[in-house]
Structure 1
């Protein structure tokens, strides 16, 4: 397969038509998948916040005070308040905030970004990334993956992940198929949308490149079963349960 980023993309603002921006720059084919950085989805949806408009509650102030004591750096309780408002649940409050977003993604600070937000203090993740992907899929006629970057347990560095998708399953299910020696696979479910998101992030980048749209051409899902299960349910998430039972010693 081939990947390429769309060039000359303007600064996206609230109300902009993302499908039109894409169509002005590429003739999409039936075998394409469009990967879209969540930042432009959020900007088009007006998901920005100015801290002057936020009033911190008691819990937010307590979290900020504890984090400031741990890190020795000033922490704005209004930022903690926005994280709380964007979260279903906090997995950890220290030494950093790890939260479950309202659509099920677990990430630091509810995925709130301070970078590349020229007209506000904060950029929130899309309210419904899969809903946004579905609208773009209907308008463009190709599968769409909405991507974000986040860290990984046990490893340094961030990588691209899918937070919303439409027009294709999230995963390829290899269970029931066989390896080269004829042994039946019993547990392998491949998160294809995460792999496409990570590949697209190599081109989209993290800084000032201005390339939030990446086309994946000639990707073949193959003759496999598909699944849309991506975010683990709480009862099936042993790591999350362990983290919530753990208390940071600081």
Structure 2
């Protein structure tokens, strides 16, 4: 059998780059649990040389390591390998698996294995690559790179490609930041996923159904070095697409917390306006728009409002006969608004409300508008959480509406419905106590 191979052609008149070849290795038999994978590869590539890179399909690594599971249900195996569901559509699940990889079905594969069994990914693909590299050094006395590959789909792109899930002796990322391109322009964001490019090149000659699980790249010795495929997994804090659409909505809802301590980091006004855009999609009676958001973006505006509110509060507490010590304690507890770098005051307007001239029906009409305003504020808080902003909805403006309207120069029919403190949380949120949804449900 002739092994498929690929040699890139040099074109144009520019100085050619490094020439390399990629070829699939033939003669590797069906791999069984306990097989010496290094010995099988060494027998198929006795000419292996320093600087070569081997691209090894994860399936044969899994088989050699005994990662074969008798399973009546592939879904149960996927459940067992899943750490976090990223997105779900029908029976398809994109998940984060035990290896930290985000992929379809946790990498559990029912193909290329006997009926009634499934293949799991290697338990530690980087460790598998290191062991294979060390064993080949002992077998043949060569210094090679090893990349363990698997097939992924990709966000934004149709089709599948091989990527690196384990690596040893290969620089998996090539950080070009700080350099310049051919025109002298600075490279500010260019980090090349070298190991993934190698994996994809190997897939060109291995194929998906050719029974050729290993490819050899020759001529790219400069990619050898220290590296781990873990470096290719994006840090969660930098991952803008960590969740699917419906999962992101649920995550924002469940991760929303009342945050009372903020960093000094400034708040992006654009993020707040995006949250307002989400707020005004809430349901409301009679096709009305009962929401207004007053955004206090200057220190003077925040301080002016909070000082006036504090004076009004202190006056109320004194009228109630509270001691000066008790008043001071209460005022200190209210400092969550003062310590926030950004404030928003949601207001309700009842333009479009029906007037029945009947106390009970008019009271119900007002309640509908209050509920709609609350729905808008909930949307606002959840959207802020989606922007990685903490918030605290504090009721204080409802107790001194005349003061708030006067200081902020608001129309008489705007009813302040609390104030929302906004900022970057100063510490990770505490675990929310578990609540059984069934405790809040009555079925009739």
TM-score category by the smaller chain?
0.7 to 0.9
How far the C-alpha of 1:195 sits from its partner, in A, is 0.3
The answer on whether the counterparts of 2:126 and 2:228 sit within 8 Å (CA) in structure 1 is no
Whether 1:130 and 2:134 are equivalent positions in the alignment is no
How far the C-alpha of 1:225 sits from its partner, in A, is 11
The answer on whether the counterparts of 1:2 and 1:217 sit within 8 Å (CA) in structure 2 is yes
Q: Distance in 2 between matches of 1:200 and 1:9?
A: 16
Match of 2:217 in 1: 216
Match of 2:181 in 1: 179
The answer on whether the counterparts of 2:55 and 2:214 sit within 8 Å (CA) in structure 1 is yes
The answer on whether the counterparts of 1:36 and 1:214 sit within 8 Å (CA) in structure 2 is yes
Q: Distance in 1 between matches of 2:227 and 2:36?
A: 30
1:226–1:11 CA distance, 2 compared to 1 (3 A): closer
In the TM superposition, 1:1-250 aligns within 5 A as 1-26=20-45, 27-52=47-72, 78-95=73-90, 96-118=92-114, 120-140=116-136, 141-207=143-209, 209-221=210-222, 229-241=231-243, 243=245, 244-246=247-249
How far the C-alpha of 1:30 sits from its partner, in A, is 0.7
The answer on whether the counterparts of 2:74 and 2:110 sit within 8 Å (CA) in structure 1 is no
3-state SS in 1 of match to 2:163: strand
The answer on whether the counterparts of 1:48 and 1:120 sit within 8 Å (CA) in structure 2 is no
Equivalent residue pairs, number: 221
How far the C-alpha of 1:161 sits from its partner, in A, is 0.5
Q: Distance in 2 between matches of 1:222 and 1:99?
A: 30
How far the C-alpha of 1:138 sits from its partner, in A, is 1.2
The structure with the greater share of residues assigned to strand is 1
Q: Distance in 2 between matches of 1:212 and 1:227?
A: 21
The answer on whether the counterparts of 1:50 and 1:120 sit within 8 Å (CA) in structure 2 is yes
The structure with the greater share of residues assigned to helix is 2
1:196-243: CA deviations, max 9, x gaps?
Answer: 000101111111x11111000011436999886210121211101454
Match of 2:285 in 1: none
3-state SS in 2 of match to 1:195: helix
1:94–1:117 CA distance, 2 compared to 1 (3 A): same
3-state SS in 2 of match to 1:29: coil
TM-score normalised per structure 1: 0.82
The answer on whether the counterparts of 1:172 and 1:221 sit within 8 Å (CA) in structure 2 is no
Q: Distance in 1 between matches of 2:185 and 2:110?
A: 49
The answer on whether the counterparts of 1:170 and 1:192 sit within 8 Å (CA) in structure 2 is yes
Give the gaps of 5 or more residues in structure 1.
53-77
The answer on whether the counterparts of 1:174 and 1:225 sit within 8 Å (CA) in structure 2 is no
Query: Structure 1: which 4+ aligned runs deviate by more than 4 Å?
Result: 222-228
The answer on whether the counterparts of 1:234 and 1:241 sit within 8 Å (CA) in structure 2 is no
1:20-71: CA deviations, max 9, x gaps?
Answer: 001111121112000000000000011111224xxxxxxxxxxxxxxxxxxx
Match of 1:58 in 2: none
The answer on whether the counterparts of 2:169 and 2:225 sit within 8 Å (CA) in structure 1 is no
Q: Distance in 2 between matches of 1:242 and 1:25?
A: 43
TM-score normalised per structure 2: 0.47
Q: Tell which deviates more after alignment, 183-192 or 78-87.
A: 78-87
3-state SS in 2 of match to 1:24: helix
The answer on whether the counterparts of 1:47 and 1:123 sit within 8 Å (CA) in structure 2 is yes
